[in-house]
Structure 1
Amino acid sequence: MRHPPRSVLLAVAGAAALLGSVVVPVVTAQGATPACTVDYSVTSQWATGFQGAVRITNNQAALSSWTLTFDLAGGQKVTQGWNAKWSQSGTTVTAANESWNGSLGTGASVSAGFLASWAGSNAVPATFKLNGTTCNADSEPPPPPTSPPPSQGGGTAPALHVLGNKLVDASGRNRRLLGVNRSGGEFMCVQGRGIFDGPVDDAAIKAIADWKANAIRIPVNEECWLGLSNVETEYAGSNYISAVKDLVARVEAHGMTPIVDLHWTYGQYTGNSAGCSDVHATCQKPMPDAQYTPSFWSSVASTFKNDQAVAFDLFNEPYPDRATSTTAQAWQCWRDGGTCPGIGYAVAGMQDLVDAIRSTGAKNVILVGGLAYSNDLSQWLTYKPTDPTGNLVAAYHVYNFNTCASESCWNSTIAPVAAQVPLVAGEIGENTCSHGFVDRAMKWFDDHDLSYLGWTWNTWDCSSGPSLISDYDGTPTAYGTGLRDHLRALNP
């Protein structure tokens, strides 16, 4: 869905060519509390350098000053840093507190970052010392998660997989995804205004669950996730990833399925129906870019591959059909990527992104939207990407103003797809501040045992776009009342 007008975007410098992102978590042995812990992460990396970050937690007596040391054994050289006084002698790196952040109480944490060069390898430091004391002592590799976090409000979300044309849980029970979109993570960060638009704490997520939703789609931004240099550090890289992970955990804790959706991406497009002329991820582009999107999905898949309760939505609303000359060209671009007519950047096709996810070992369910902003699934089955796990889902978006927005079109183009694979209408809505159209759409999807999620759980003016709520406590707009009452009627 295109968004209502937002703040003027920041004019920022171009991004470095990111190759990957590494986050090294610290998990201590059961019952052991180390004197200090250090989380080390590579938030972005390019051909000759990388950006790193450390988060230090003091578990011993309060400190009035601190010095962290570790060795970069891969030939890396620190060139500059922030939130600490950085220096390097040989392989040993030292980060000493600034005058304003030297106090580190018991249980308190402090974060600092740096830029460094590398060549040959970018090995992760093995040992960290805080004021001479070894941190992360008695640590051991984390066991693979076997379930989402304990419930805080109604259970945990089930692991999902595809069985025929249904989404099912581990016991084979059908799971229709019925819920809402929670917009914000795709635009706030790149606009320098935060990470989410409005609260995403436990109370805010419980308000969604109280509508009897069982799924939340979470739009995200690839440049913010990857920590590219055009995004403020505060809202990028490890900070952004942590915020998304925390939201996913809260969604699961309330028994709802989180769908991580790649919404805004890199790549300059000024052709037909362009949302912006900016090369950066500040609007919906016609297709994902080959430069960054495979790395984004590799990182996301690595982050969540041990939690099959999380579903992945490859790309919000493809529209290569607006750029290419023929429908065949559009569908070939959609599946295979590469050089696509009318699109000036190298495109990552849906097959490229499925391959990027599966190469990590992730078996999570993947949603794949069709052409025309995911409103056209007419040749989805013909061009369906290959998935070795068999866990692909057709994603469909429908609004009252779309071309395919009638029962006759759904019967002729959507029902045949839904007969062969699971189908999720990741966005349904209308721009009328009423719910007559979504009522019709929900009835059709109910009759065909399909999934749908309303756009969007944000407090925007429903006359400028389909906004479900007027308050984050769950107070619905006139439009949102239709979805809320319908979900509650399905699950009283």
Structure 2
Amino acid sequence: MTALRSTTRRTRWRIGLLASGLSVLLAALGMTFAVSAQAAAGCRVVYTAPNQWPGGFTANVAVTNLGDTINNWSLTWTFPSGQQVTQAWNANVTSSGANVTATNVGYNGTIATNATVSFGFNGSWTGANTAPSSFALNGVTCTGSVGPTTPPTTQPPTSPPPTGNPTNPAAAVAAMEPGWNLGNSFDATGDGETSWGNPRVTAQLLDNIKAQGFKSVRIPVTWGQHHGAAPNYTINPTYLNRVKEVVDWALADDFYVMINIHHDSWQWIANMPANRTTVLARYNAIWTQVANTFRNSSPKLVFESVNEPQFTGSSGDAQNAALLHELNTSFHGIVRQSGGNNATRLLVLPTLHTSSDQARIDELVATFDALDDPNLIATYHFYGYWPFSVNVAGGTRFDATVQQDLTDAFDRIHTAFTARGIPVILGEYGLLGFDRHTGTIQQGEKLKFFEFLGHYARARQITTMWWDNGQHFNRNTHQWNDPELFAQIKSSWTTRSGTASSDQVFTARSGAVTAKSLTLNLNGTSFVGLRHGNTDLVRGTDYTVSGNQLTLTAAALTRLSGDRAYGTNAVLSARFSQGVPWRINLVTYDRPVLQNATGTTGSFTIPTTFRGDQLATMEATYADGSNAGPHNWTPFKEFDHTFAPNYTANNIVLKPEFFAEVNDNSRVTLRFHFWSGEIVTYYVTRSGGNVTGTTS
């Protein structure tokens, strides 16, 4: 994306968003009015009503001071249609008939020159809900022009620009690529950063992450168990200082750093529909303290309003959108009013659930429209097409459906934000299933997913932050647990890599060796050659290439497979003109053998001789053909959640979660699908807490 200066981007927002702000908000949130009562003696007011329902509405008010700094403010207006304010936040609001007065609360009483303070309220209406046409700030009618109430004897003081003003937010966000998440440390919901199993964070850890090539670090922080009671919600100074210590280490390493409010989102912020005032007060208190602590930190420190926002017991999409808009705008106002580098610090705002669904994107666009701040960043999360991400419903391969799901999501984000000059950070990405079991997502299919994700993020100008809760980079040894995965991801930051339809070539030990073919996915590269160890295989003798078909000859497979012991006999490396090589395992196998077994619903295993093969998925159906077990909309059960292979113990485990949703005294047919293509049938019958398994 061509870099845009802040002034350019502001102009584009006004043309592309503000000029159509009413229609955007109307489409996204139900109904909107916008009045810019352009202030005379130094103020401007923007009033929007993004949500309306029969008898009620939500409104947001942004007040910009165009004159001298104000300490303690009072905004007055009259409702044309006799509306009434029923609940307010970020301001104290009182009414006398149709006349309304809003005054500051403790943390937003000062409005510097050209600064903006925002507040919101819920109101009631009957007949009509006409927007106010005039506002007065401290008795002065707001018209948008600068004219002092009394002739000044001296030139009014002006505030010096904050240091480190990010004059090009798009360039700054581009410089954050690639990013890494310090997951399950400060976001752990126990009594400290080690309560979820990771060691205490060290400066050396961050040094090592820097050495891997990462340019930014997201440090998720959960605050809820580290602050005092209402009304101040004072953050434990030891905890706050510890967070600052790690942030300072990362800044000293020249990282861009993002901190946020993290698991608080589901712990207590989710209760906002039923307890709006308390939740908002607690949220505001946390951000007030965090903003003040970091107000003079490097501009390379970025704030994210809330992680994966969600609301329990809301009335639906409209209320969810209104609540998130309220949180985001309150966060924005608190940070901006705290001064220092916070006046222009890059701020990150999420969609609801950090979703990339169009409706959620539209809601966030409306918030960007209302705030009209050039130093804002949009964020979302992406963990892939769900059946593939957890391996359920037969989602074993990175196929066209999985790829289309990714491109659709990234395209929607690009159209709404990056194409308009609004930077985007993919704050978390990964696959859900590979946290649980190394075989949940097959290695080659996993590599193809990440190769394509990195490529498409670059194509859509989206900065990425890989989610790592300790399962990827070992925080004790400072080594990658899966170096091949990291190599593929790192390569995707700058280029594409060739892949193939599989990273496995299976040859049955019980049969004759025959030639085997794979389809090459060139991804814009060209095929260079095939190598075994340090030896180049001979094209035309060991393999042939015709178009995108790579064929291994029977003679080469026979030689490379040696004594044809079960399992991987040789590893080949397909090399391309760019990117990382593609590993191909030559596997000797025979059809797996399962045995009869007895057990309980709490502990049942099937003795299995895998004979070189590996399990891909499992079907479960009743005699009438209907689906058995959890997720009964599909016969294919979720890998590791309901079943899992244990190659060391030579068995397949059927988990209690599977039997919990199996009918009593019903025979279930299981069909185990293996990566060789073999399908082995097995039968289980649950009788109360007992389970019997048979091969016939």
How high is the TM-score relative to the length of structure 1? 0.52
Within a 5 Å distance, the mapping from 1:165-204 to structure 2 comes to 166-168=170-172, 175-188=175-188, 190-191=190-191, 194=194, 197-204=198-205
Within a 5 Å distance, the mapping from 1:405-420 to structure 2 comes to 405-420=405-420
Determine helix, strand or coil for the equivalent of 1:319. Answer: coil
* Correspondence for 1:33: none
Write the letter of the residue equivalent to 1:445: A
Instruction: Name whichever of 200-209 and 481-490 sits farther off.
Output: 481-490
* Correspondence for 2:325: 335
For 1:162 and 1:224, the matched residues in 2 are separated by: 37
Within a 5 Å distance, the mapping from 1:380-399 to structure 2 comes to 380-384=364-368, 386-387=370-371, 389-399=373-383
Aligned residues, how many? 295
Quick check: 1:474 aligned with 2:455? no
Within a 5 Å distance, the mapping from 1:30-49 to structure 2 comes to none
For 1:488 and 1:469, the matched residues in 2 are separated by: 24
Residues 269/382 of structure 1: CA separation in 2 closer, same or farther (3 Å cut): closer
Quick check: 1:292 aligned with 2:297? no
C-alpha deviation, 1:243, in angstroms? 1.1
Determine helix, strand or coil for the equivalent of 1:445. Answer: helix
- The match for 1:357 among 305, 311, 335 is 335
- The match for 1:483 among 472, 486, 489 is 489
For 2:329 and 2:193, the matched residues in 1 are separated by: 34
Deviations, residues 243-262 of structure 1 (Å, cap 9, x unaligned):
11111111112111110121
Within a 5 Å distance, the mapping from 1:296-315 to structure 2 comes to 296-307=286-297, 308-315=299-306
* Correspondence for 1:219: 220
C-alpha deviation, 1:241, in angstroms? 1.1
Determine helix, strand or coil for the equivalent of 1:239. Answer: helix
Residues 296/252 of structure 1: CA separation in 2 closer, same or farther (3 Å cut): same
* Correspondence for 2:250: 251
* Correspondence for 2:131: none
Within a 5 Å distance, the mapping from 1:119-138 to structure 2 comes to none
Residues 474/486 of structure 1: CA separation in 2 closer, same or farther (3 Å cut): farther
For 1:312 and 1:299, the matched residues in 2 are separated by: 13
C-alpha deviation, 1:198, in angstroms? 1.8
Determine helix, strand or coil for the equivalent of 2:432. Answer: coil
For 2:271 and 2:467, the matched residues in 1 are separated by: 26
- The match for 2:470 among 452, 455, 459 is 459
For 2:493 and 2:277, the matched residues in 1 are separated by: 33
For 1:250 and 1:423, the matched residues in 2 are separated by: 25
Residues 319/439 of structure 1: CA separation in 2 closer, same or farther (3 Å cut): farther
Asked whether the equivalents of residues 399 and 405 of structure 1 are also in contact (C-alpha less than 8 Å), the reply is: no
Q: Give structure 2 stretches of 5+ with no counterpart.
A: 1-159, 388-403, 435-445, 497-578, 580-696
Determine helix, strand or coil for the equivalent of 2:361. Answer: coil
Residues 271/228 of structure 1: CA separation in 2 closer, same or farther (3 Å cut): closer
Write the letter of the residue equivalent to 1:409: A
Determine helix, strand or coil for the equivalent of 2:209. Answer: helix
Write the letter of the residue equivalent to 1:358: R
Determine helix, strand or coil for the equivalent of 1:378. Answer: helix
Q: Give structure 1 stretches of 5+ with no counterpart.
A: 1-143, 148-158, 273-278, 280-285, 337-348, 461-466
For 1:162 and 1:375, the matched residues in 2 are separated by: 28
Residues 191/177 of structure 1: CA separation in 2 closer, same or farther (3 Å cut): same
Q: Whose RCO is larger (CA < 8 A, sep 6+)? A: 1
Quick check: 1:425 aligned with 2:426? yes
Asked whether the equivalents of residues 428 and 467 of structure 2 are also in contact (C-alpha less than 8 Å), the reply is: yes
Quick check: 1:378 aligned with 2:358? no
* Correspondence for 1:87: none
Residues 270/306 of structure 1: CA separation in 2 closer, same or farther (3 Å cut): closer
For 1:287 and 1:370, the matched residues in 2 are separated by: 22
For 1:306 and 1:450, the matched residues in 2 are separated by: 28
C-alpha deviation, 1:418, in angstroms? 1.6
Determine helix, strand or coil for the equivalent of 2:417. Answer: helix
Determine helix, strand or coil for the equivalent of 2:262. Answer: strand
C-alpha deviation, 1:352, in angstroms? 1.1
Asked whether the equivalents of residues 184 and 193 of structure 2 are also in contact (C-alpha less than 8 Å), the reply is: no
Quick check: 1:436 aligned with 2:448? yes
Write the letter of the residue equivalent to 1:261: N
Write the letter of the residue equivalent to 1:360: S
C-alpha deviation, 1:263, in angstroms? 0.2
Write the letter of the residue equivalent to 1:368: L
Write the letter of the residue equivalent to 1:205: L
C-alpha deviation, 1:187, in angstroms? 4.2
C-alpha deviation, 1:206, in angstroms? 1.2
The higher radius of gyration belongs to 2
Write the letter of the residue equivalent to 1:260: I
Write the letter of the residue equivalent to 1:161: P
Residues 470/184 of structure 1: CA separation in 2 closer, same or farther (3 Å cut): closer
C-alpha deviation, 1:203, in angstroms? 1.5
Residues 193/475 of structure 1: CA separation in 2 closer, same or farther (3 Å cut): closer
C-alpha deviation, 1:194, in angstroms? 4.5
Residues 483/387 of structure 1: CA separation in 2 closer, same or farther (3 Å cut): same
For 2:416 and 2:288, the matched residues in 1 are separated by: 31
Asked whether the equivalents of residues 316 and 374 of structure 1 are also in contact (C-alpha less than 8 Å), the reply is: no
C-alpha deviation, 1:311, in angstroms? 0.2
Deviations, residues 452-479 of structure 1 (Å, cap 9, x unaligned):
10001x334xxxxxx4547551324364
For 1:268 and 1:301, the matched residues in 2 are separated by: 19
Asked whether the equivalents of residues 178 and 214 of structure 1 are also in contact (C-alpha less than 8 Å), the reply is: yes
Determine helix, strand or coil for the equivalent of 2:221. Answer: strand
* Correspondence for 1:446: 458
Residues 370/468 of structure 1: CA separation in 2 closer, same or farther (3 Å cut): farther
C-alpha deviation, 1:297, in angstroms? 0.9
Residues 325/304 of structure 1: CA separation in 2 closer, same or farther (3 Å cut): same
For 1:333 and 1:270, the matched residues in 2 are separated by: 11
Deviations, residues 391-412 of structure 1 (Å, cap 9, x unaligned):
1100111011459942023223
For 1:287 and 1:178, the matched residues in 2 are separated by: 38
- What's the Cα RMSD here? 3.9
Deviations, residues 21-62 of structure 1 (Å, cap 9, x unaligned):
xxxxxxxxxxxxxxxxxxxxxxxxxxxxxxxxxxxxxxxxxx
C-alpha deviation, 1:314, in angstroms? 0.7
Greater share of helix residues, 1 or 2? 2
